[in-house]
Structures are given as C-alpha cells and as structure tokens.
Amino acid sequence: MRGHVIDPSPTPQGAAAPATNVTRAGDVRAMAARRRRRLLGLAAVLALLVVACLLSVAVGAKQIPLDNVWHALFQPTGTEDDVVVRSLRLPRTLLGLVAGIALGVAGALMQGHTRNPLADPGLLGVTYGAAFTVVLGIYALGVTSLYGYVWFGFVGALLASVGVFLLGSVGRGGPTPVTLALAGAAMSNLLYALTAVVVLLDSQALDVYRFWKVGAIAGRDPDLVVQVLPFLVVGLVVALANAPGMNALALGEDVARSLGHRVGLTRGLGIAAITLLTGATVAVCGPIGFIGLVVPHVARLVVGADYRWILPYSGLLGATLLLLADVAGRVVARPGELQVGIMLAVVGVPFFIVMVRRRKLVRL
Amino acid sequence: MTAVSAVNSGGIVRSGSDEARLRAEALRLAYGENVVVDGLDLDVLDGTVTAVIGPNGCGKSTLLRALGRLLGPQGGQVLLDGKRIDRMSTKEVARILGVLPQAPQAPEGLTVADLVARGRHPHQRWYRQWSSDDETAVAEALRKTGMLEFAERTLDQLSGGQRQRAWISMALAQGTDLLLLDEPTTYLDLAHQVDVLDLVQQLHAELGRTVVMVLHDLNLAARYADRLVAMRDGKIVAEGAPGDVLTEQLLRDVFDLDARVVPDPVAGTPLVVPIGSRHRT
C-alpha cells in the first residue's frame, strides 16, 4: 500500500487532468455495475413478491382452480369462488402485503438506529403498548368490535413509543441507542405485567388477547387496511427520507454531524417512522415477530451497507416472507389453518439459525 | 505572528498567513460539571498545519471537538469566518470544515467508494442527491489518496493504514478548506503513521488545506506541523514553530518528562529523546 503513494512532486493542475479522466471512467463504470446489480436484484425481489401475492390469492382451504382465480380477479360474476377470492383472499393478501412491507422497513430502521443487529421493531415497547390498551379497552370500556380495538391498539403503540423516547432522552446526551433500548425493555416489561393483570381479571379480555397475541392477517375487515393505510404511507415516506441520515449515523454520531447531518432530527424522524409502521401493523394484525429481525439481514447480504437500498429491499422481502409464511400456514394444516405469526416462528427460526451459522451477524 | 514559511525535503513550499478563519475566544468546555478547558484562546492560521500536543486528558481532543462544532462551549465562543460556529447551520459548517474523529467505525460491508461518497452530503440537496460534481469529487479524492484501486473493496478488507486513508478520502471529498483530525495515526504502526502524515502533508501542500490535528508522537508532530500547540490541564502552555515550542523545559512543564531535545538528523526539526529512570544519572 505504501508503495503507490501518490505522485510526490507538486503536480500542476493541468498535468493531473488526463489521469483524472481515465480513472474517473473506470470508477464510474464500477459504480454503474454495482448500481445495475442492485437494480436487477430489486427486480428479482419484486418478481418474487408478485409470485407470493399470486400464491396467496390462489391457495387456501378451499381449492379453487387457477382459471377460476383469474376469473374472480378480472371478470367476477359473483360465483362462490369469486366471493371467496374477492372478499377473503384479496383483502388478506393486501393486508399481508402492507404489513410485510411495514415490518420489514421498520426492522431495518430499528437495527440501523440502534446499531444492534438483534433489534426488532418491537424494541420501543410498541407491541406491549398495543397489547395493554387492547385488553384495557375490552376490560374497562367493554369494547368488543375489531374496529374498537384496532384504534385502541394504535394509540397504545404510539403512547408506548413516545414514552420510551422520552424516558430514553432523560439525562445528558439525549436519546442514544443504549438508553432507548433500555427504556424500551423496561417499558415493555411494565406493560406486559399490566396486561397480565387485566387478562387475569377479565376472561373476555383474555379470549381476545389470546387470538390477537398470535398475530394474523386473516379475517380482518378490508376497511381496516384502508384506515391504517395513511399512517403506513406516511411512515414509509419518512423512512425513505431517513435513509441518507441513517447512512451517516452508521459512521458514528461525530462523523454524521461533521458531514452536516442533524443527528437529533434524523433519530427523531427514524423513531417516528418506526412507530407509525409498527404501531399500525401491530394494531391490525397483532404482534408478528421475526420479519423485522430477519429481513434486514437478508437485505444487507444482497446490497451491503447502504440504507437507501436496504430499506426498499427489506420492505419487499418482508412482504414476500409474510405472504409465503401465510400461504404455508394454510397448506400445512388443511382444512384448518395456522396463523401466520406461528408459521413465521416455525419457518423463521431454522432459517435464522442457518443464517447466523453461515455468516456471522454483521457489525452495524 | 510572522508568516511561517519553510521548505521540506520534498521541495514543497509550506506557507501560512496571519489570517485565521477559525478561532477560539475565551473558550470554556465541560462535560457536565467536569470543566476540561477554561479560558482558552486560539487562532488557527490559514494554510498551516497545526498539531496539538499534550499529555492524556489535557483537553486536546475536547478542544478539537469544540473547534469542529461537535461540542458546544459553556463559555466563550468558536468563530468560523467571524461567525459563531454554534449559530451556523450544521450543513453550512460542514461545507467549510471537516472533522475526522479518532478511530472512526464503519459498518461492515461498506465499500470505500460508498464511504467517500457519503462525504458529499453537505453539497447535496434533497431534490438533487447525486450530481456529476459529486462524482468528480469522489473520484478525485480517491485518486489523491491513492485509494482508487481499492474503491470497490469493503473497509474490513483493508489494512489499518489503508482504512485511515479511506476516511481521509471521505473528508477530502467533503471539499472543506479546514480539516480537523483527531489522532489520525492511532493504532497504526510507525510506517503507516508516516504514510498517513505524508498524505496529510501532501493535501496541505497541493490543496492548501488548513489542518489541525491532535498527535501523540512529538517527533512526528514536530516534523509534520508548521505550528505546535502544547496544552496542559485545559490551557495552552506554548504555541509556535516546532523549534521554538519543543524544548527540554517545555517537556518538563507539560509532560513532566525529562528528555533531551536534539536536531532530527533527517528533517532538522526537534527530536525528543526521553531519558527515563534506567538512564538517569
């Protein structure tokens, strides 16, 4: 390395120019090649997602021939198959799609902001915040409809996240990855305990909680998806805008600041995005684990350390994984079904172990 | 203060001026209750390489962080182009002044080209993320530091010296007139220390960058700096040309070190030869 120390003589500007052009061409070519690879990969992931969506529409407890699925999607006439596809499978697939994207992106954000490869979107107490308000709504206010508890869950998720952020910001230096993780763990444990108290007191709350806790995308009203969609869209936009700042934060706070990034703002926006994405998803689907943990690692394997690429990849891979796990859950226990939350744990854990063994988790 | 002008062995003219774009006035720095620097004045003369020396814990790194706007002062002020640096926007500062912390950490899998590209942020707008100017600046920075052939390597595949070159490339791509380096030679063997400092010297000579660096090795500091700033207990004890600052008396005052100072046989700058108890007579 020391041999090729640049030209030691004071080079006049003119003499340096030709060399610059040559090297620039080579450099630009290498960068273009990497960019093309990433775009091709993105196209491949997108294709995989389309396949997952089609499977999710085509496969289920009721066996529907493919041409009937097609018929239901594009020229519905109200046959029984049409009704099943359009009113059950399509909303379920759409919910799986948005929930998977949200959880994948939120996971990548969380791991990036905490610089912790084992962080998942639930780290800020969002999951238990939602759980607590859901059971509280049932117990104290007698909420029974799904609508009721979705909004309760969402508010709980937001409050828990804000609480963790404030708790983690107390003291000098403001919110840091460590204080946030500690505050999140403390808040989660507290809310978990409170949730346990409520479900002990109220068996109706326990019944709802049991099913909510597993995490599923089946049987949700299509309107719910529409209602939480704005929050998810805002969350995604904020997340993508957050990518350059996360790239800088990955080099350390001092470097980020000296490159002209506003560290507090970047971190605040990141947490806002995580809260919106995870909170909305948890409220509708219940806690669906694993996607936020695993998917960013897969994305990093493909694209390296650039969050402008990691985030889109994580979103698409998250949706793909969620839908495939959901489809698998419908197939393994026919004519019954396994909830996607259970399926993900069953499929996901061995996958994760293989990944950890094959390649050490990356340092963030 | 007279203009510094010297010719080093490579025939590169080093020069400086009386102007100071970056200055500290009555600076008071503290971490919580713990006051590290108090009542410090410093002019960073344009076009010079300044090395800050001093024993561990004397506040050199803290001073550098304050000069780079990474730490807000509790009293006094840091002025950049006559404006209070803590009232300027982060991006505005980042276009004039770059800071490289000690032993910076990069995420795994980050390529050299990507790292250097991140140095362009202060020149980017949200509607225009990447321009041909950025492209040129990155390629130029990689070429100047001799890292072009490593552009597509990841940082973890590089040696310590190469990695430090990559970080300096990033600071270079930032295109700032002032560069603050906190112990750029930490964890490097002597050959790589010289290599990195040669690079700093070259950037200074070819691009006219003003450099402030914290250095531990006094002999290298004397060789590569136009000016030395010696600190102890958060105060500047002496500043000026290495030949004037680095004396046996100063080493006793600042480092509590008994040493002989002789002319460096290669550069003619002061060479510190510590005595130590084994050879004390």
Tell me the nearest-neighbour CA distance from A20 into chain B, angstroms: 7
Higher pLDDT, B12 or B173: B173
SS3 string, B92-133, reads HHHHHEEEECCCCCCCCCCEHHHHHHHCCHHHCECCECCCHH
Residue B150 DSSP class: G
Q: Is B14's pLDDT higher than 60? A: no
The mean pLDDT of chain B is: 88
B191 touching A, CB under 8 A? yes
The residues facing A176 across adjacent strands are none
Q: What is the pLDDT of residues B22-63, one digit of tens each?
A: 999 999 999 888 899 999 999 999 999 999 999 998 999 999
Do the Cβ atoms of A364 and A115 come closer than 8 Å? yes
Q: What is the rounded distance in angstroms from the CA atom of residue B193 to the CA atom of residue A317?
A: 44
Question: Among candidates A264, A273, A280, which has minimal Cα distance to A243?
Answer: A273
Predicted local distance difference test score (pLDDT) of residue A362: 60
Predicted local distance difference test score (pLDDT) of residue A70: 80
List domains and CATH numbers for chain A.
34-358 (1.10.3470.10)
Q: What is the pLDDT of residues B239-267, one digit of tens each?
A: 999 999 999 999 999 999 999 999 999 99
Side-chain half-sphere CA neighbours of A338 within 13 A: 18
Q: What is the mean pLDDT of residues A235-254?
A: 93
Do the Cβ atoms of A100 and A321 come closer than 8 Å? yes
Predicted local distance difference test score (pLDDT) of residue A213: 81
Note the ipTM here.
0.86
Dihedral, CA of residue A245, residue A246, residue A248 and residue A250, to nearest 10: 170
Q: What is the largest CA-CA distance in chain A?
A: 83
Q: What is the pLDDT of residues A314-343, one digit of tens each?
A: 999 999 999 999 998 888 877 778 888 888
Tell me the nearest-neighbour CA distance from B70 into chain A, angstroms: 6
Tell me the nearest-neighbour CA distance from B194 into chain A, angstroms: 10
Percentage above 70 pLDDT, chain A: 88
Interface with A, mutate which of B8, B34, B118, B201 (most A CBs under 10 A): B118
Contact between A363 and B108 using a beta-carbon 8 Å cutoff: yes
Question: Is 0.95 topped by the overall pTM?
Answer: no
> What architecture is domain B5-104+177-279?
3-Layer(aba) Sandwich (3.40)
Predicted local distance difference test score (pLDDT) of residue A358: 67
Q: Residue A335, preceding bond cis, omega within 30 degrees? A: yes
B115 touching A, CB under 8 A? yes
Predicted local distance difference test score (pLDDT) of residue B13: 42
3-state secondary structure of A60: coil
| 92-111 in chain B: CB under 8 A from chain A | 92-95, 97-101, 104-111
What residue in A sits closest to B90 (Cα-Cα)?
A: A260
Q: What is the pLDDT of residues B146-197, one digit of tens each?
A: 898 898 888 988 988 899 999 999 999 999 999 999 999 988 899 999 999 9
